[in-house]
Every structure is written in structure tokens, then in C-alpha cells.
Amino acid sequence: MTTKVIKIDPGNMRSEDFVEAASILRSGGLVAFPTETVYGLGGNALDPDASRKIYAAKGRPSDNPLIVHIADVSALEELARDIPDEAYRLAEAFWPGPLTIILKKKPIVPDSTTGGLATVAIRFPSHPVANRLILESGLYIAAPSANASGRPSTTKAEHVIEDLDGKIDMVIDSGSSQIGLESTIVDLSEGTPTILRPGFVTIEMLRRIVPGIVYDRAVTERKKDDTIVAKAPGMKYRHYAPKGDLMIFEGDPDRVAEAINEAVKRANEAGKRAGVLATAQNLDRYDCAVIECVGSKTDEEEISSHLFDTLRRFDELGVDLIFSESFDCGGLGQAIMNRLLKAAGYRVLEV
Ligand code: TXA
Ligand code: MG
């Protein structure tokens, strides 16, 4: 199959722009599209064959459920049952936006979309192109991140082409995703409201609406205890990984720089190509041929929007080993460290 790439300017969209993409989706095909978090690989969420095609294109295990994207809060009642009041309060506060809510599913949602689970993940994205695509197609759109399974999520159409060219019908190119990390996932399907995946909507923001919300233990304690199994099936896989082996260095910036420079030297002696993932403030401290800046230490939004792109750049540069600084875990830092730890397979060196 040839993958068609079309450009849509979010600031200047017309209905005509969406005719072909909407028709592909309605006939069971796949269209990758921009969202405010990352690019999504979309198919008709209520068509089991479309979900199966999504798993095949990504090479994703079919027990890993998809998020259903909607463009109106009223869709909640069509897709989910026993909806608690918290769901409406969170929707009111954060939708449209980078928050996914898990609820008990209604039979209309096929098992292939939810990986056989009795629950469904629902998100109302704020990106104008995503919103318009859902409305113009008249569908609910199931969309995982538009990367090959296990690779860093895609924040640009070019990344989608890198991973999925020839495997999907179309990519809509609307430039870079602003947030750069996937949505926060909150489970409201049973018991205590729980954050399964940290994202741009932080625990502090969520607690203002749902004071009792907690993190799934897999988010906060997995680093120390590798017997904990994540409740979001997708969070248990090695993930977000560049081709080069990533290792995180934690500690005082001087000592981190010293340890990284030593690691670079050893890698080079072993005939390996090393790269350093650094913040702007520390660039001068490193002695390495490849140093990629992920943003300013004091600007978490900048780091979040560049993280996956930076990991992919190391691949383009043919780096075998990546040595990374670590980041603070407050606010958005929790989501940044969560993705970085997964990409590193939890390899952290405390120096
Ligand atoms: O920002 C995002 O959420 C992006 C954009 C495209 O919307 N989508 C995204 O999808 O990140 P994906 O498939 O890459 O990640 C979805 C995560 C997976 O870890 C999956 O296991 C979890 O959500 N998930 C989906 N449905 C679930 C359910 N019913 N119960 C528990 N976890 C679920
Ligand atoms: Mg993903």
C-alpha cells in the first residue's frame, strides 16, 4: 500500500481537506493524524477489523487496548456505563485536552478495541485537526500513538512515515505536536480513582477536582520494585525506546557530567558511538561528539515537547549508547521521567 501524506493547516482548515481522510476511515482504513499530545494512528473504533489493522500496522500486541477519541462529551454515555460523577467533573475541567478516562464499557465497543478488557479508555482531544477529523468522519476514532510498537511516540508526520510508511493509508501532516508526551490516563472504572500514566495534566491539577486520586504503584514504585505489574497493559512493555541503549545518570550535575564523560570515553575505546542527552544549562560540561539538547532545565514544557524527537535523533545519528541526565519528578517532570525510565528499561546509575 502507498501511504498518502496530506497537509492540513490547523489555522486554516476547510471541510474539503477532510473528505478523503474521513472516507478512508469510514471504509475501515487507517489515517494517522495530529493531536496536541502526539500523533495518533486512527481507525473506526467500533469496527473490529479496523482495530485489528491498527495492531498489525504497529506490530502491537493485541492485548494492549486502544484509546477511543471523541469530539463531544455526550459520547461518554454511548460508549460507557455506570459513569461516576468524577468523570463528568474531570471532563468539565480538562476536556478537550490531554486526559484519558477509563470507564466500564458498553457492548457497542468491540473487544478488539479494548484488548478484551471490560473497560474502555476515552479521550476528547483539543487539537483542531483531530477534532474536525472525528466530526467530519462521524465516527469515534480508536488511536494509539502512531509509532511502531516499542519505539518513541511520534510528534511529527516525518516520524510517522519513518515507522509506518506503506502500512497505513494516510498521514495528515499539521506540524509538531505541542505537548509531546501522551495523555494522562485516569482509571475511574472501579475503586479509588487512579492515575495509570502521568502526562501534561498532573496529579496536582487532578487533585483539585478529585482530591482522593492516587498514582498506580507501577508509576511511582516500578523503579525500585520490578515485580509490580502496571494496570494499563501498555505500560508494562519496554517502550519509547530508541535503537541505541539508553542509561540515565542521577545525582549532582558535576558528578553526573564526570560519570557521563567517563562512560563516553569507555564507549569510544570499545569502538562504540556514544551520545549525550543534556539540558541547555549543562551542554558545556560534556566531552562527546554527539550532544543533543532536550531543552532548558527550568522549562519542563520544552523538555516534554522535545523528548521523543530527541530520542529519535540519536537513531538518525547512528548512536549505539545514549547517556542521559535525569529530571525532577514534580509536576510535568513525573511524566518526563516516566517516559525516560521506560526508554532506558529502568537502567539508572546513581552517582
Ligand atoms: O495522548 C495519547 O493518549 C495518544 C494520542 C494519540 O491520543 N494515544 C496514546 O495511545 O498514547 P497508546 O495506545 O499509545 O497508549 C494507550 C495506553 C496504553 O498504555 C494502554 O494499555 C492504555 O492506554 N489503555 C487503553 N485502554 C485501557 C483500558 N481500558 N484499561 C487500562 N489501560 C488502558
Ligand atoms: Mg503508545
Atom of ligand 1 nearest to the CA of 145: 14
Q: Which of 268, 313, 297 is nearest to 155 (CA)?
A: 313
Nearest ligand to the CA atom of 51: 1
Chain CA centroid to CA 148, Å: 12
pTM of the model: 0.96
Q: Which of 197, 229, 190, 195 is nearest to 215 (CA)?
A: 195
Compute and round to an integer the Cα radius of gyration of the chain: 20
Amino acid 121: pLDDT: 98
Distant-in-sequence, close-in-space partners of 186: CB < 8 Å, separation ≥ 6: 90, 99, 100, 101, 102, 193, 194, 195, 196, 206, 210, 213
- Res. 225 pLDDT band, cuts 50 70 90: low
Distant-in-sequence, close-in-space partners of 259: CB < 8 Å, separation ≥ 6: 249, 251, 349, 351
User: How far, in Å, are 131, 141, 269 from residue 160 at the CA level?
Assistant: 19, 18, 35
Q: Is the CB of 339 under 6 A from ligand 1?
A: no
Q: Is the CB of 120 under 6 A from ligand 1?
A: yes
Chain CA centroid to CA 226, Å: 22
Amino acid 288: pLDDT: 97
Q: Is the CB of 203 under 6 A from ligand 1?
A: no
Q: What is the pLDDT of residues 8-20, one digit of tens each?
A: 999 999 999 999 9
Amino acid 45: pLDDT: 98
Mutate to test the pocket of ligand 1, among 67, 79, 201 (most ligand atoms within 8 A of CB): 67
Q: What is the pLDDT of residues 32-80, one digit of tens each?
A: 999 999 999 999 999 999 999 999 999 998 889 999 999 999 999 999 9
Q: Is the CB of 119 under 6 A from ligand 1?
A: yes
Amino acid 226: pLDDT: 67
How many C-beta neighbours within 10 Å does residue 210 have?
20
Please state the rounded mean pLDDT for residues 261-266.
98
Amino acid 11: pLDDT: 96
Contact 148, 9 (CB under 8 A): no
Contact 290, 273 (CB under 8 A): yes
Phi, psi of 105 (to 5 degrees): -90, 155
Amino acid 332: pLDDT: 96
Atom of ligand 1 nearest to the CA of 69: 7
Q: Is the CB of 133 under 6 A from ligand 1?
A: no
- Helix H segments across 138-277? 157-164, 203-207, 217-221, 253-269
- The residues with which 121 forms a beta bridge, in sequence order, are 67, 102
Amino acid 343: pLDDT: 94
Task: Spell out a b/e string for 117-133, using b for 16 or more CB atoms within 10 Å of the CB, else e.
Answer: bebbbbbbbbbbbbbbb
- Res. 231 pLDDT band, cuts 50 70 90: confident
Q: Is the CB of 51 under 6 A from ligand 1?
A: no
* CA dist., res. 144 & res. 66, Å (int): 6
Nearest ligand to the CA atom of 233: 1
Helix (H) or strand (E) holding 31: strand 31-33
Q: What is the pLDDT of residues 232-247, one digit of tens each?
A: 777 666 678 888 999 9
Nearest ligand to the CA atom of 35: 1
Q: What is the pLDDT of residues 148-182, one digit of tens each?
A: 999 999 999 999 999 999 999 999 999 999 999 99
* CA dist., res. 250 & res. 348, Å (int): 7
Q: Is the CB of 102 under 6 A from ligand 1?
A: yes
Amino acid 232: pLDDT: 77
Please state the rounded mean pLDDT for residues 177-203.
98
Q: How far does residue 144's CA lie from ligand 2's centre (Å)?
A: 6
Atom of ligand 1 nearest to the CA of 231: 31
Please state the rounded mean pLDDT for residues 200-228.
89
Amino acid 233: pLDDT: 76
**Residue with CA nearest ligand 1 atom 15:** 144
Atom of ligand 1 nearest to the CA of 185: 23
Q: What is the pLDDT of residues 278-322, one digit of tens each?
A: 999 999 999 999 999 999 999 999 999 999 999 999 999 999 999
- Report the chain's mean pLDDT, rounded to a whole number: 95
